[in-house]
Amino acid sequence: MNCPYCGKEMESGYLSSRSPVFWSEDVSGLPIPTQQTDVLLGKALGLLRPRAYLCRVCRKVVVDY
């Protein structure tokens, strides 16, 4: 995958976390999704290892969820 910011090739890998990895509009202070609009960046709670692409030049990560 090419970086959408600089166009260079990105490194393929996975995100890892002890807590669920999720996107939220707000910071709730809890390590789990708490709002209906929160989006888990994996298939289920527990061992989440979503595929991610890293651009070391732009310091960006693109995640498939």
> What is the domain range of residue 13?
1-65
Neighbouring C-beta atoms of residue 54, cutoff 10 Å: 17
pLDDT of res. 45:
57
Total domains, the chain: 1
Q: What is the pLDDT of residues 10-36, one digit of tens each?
A: 999 988 877 778 888 888 888 888 889
Question: Taking 70 as the threshold, does the pLDDT of residue 47 lie above it?
Answer: no
- pTM value surpassing 0.85: no
DSSP at 26: S
Phi, psi of 48, rounded to the nearest 5 degrees = -100, 125
Tell me if residue 46 falls in helix, strand or coil.
Answer: coil
Tell me the two tokens of residue 47. Answer: 């061992």
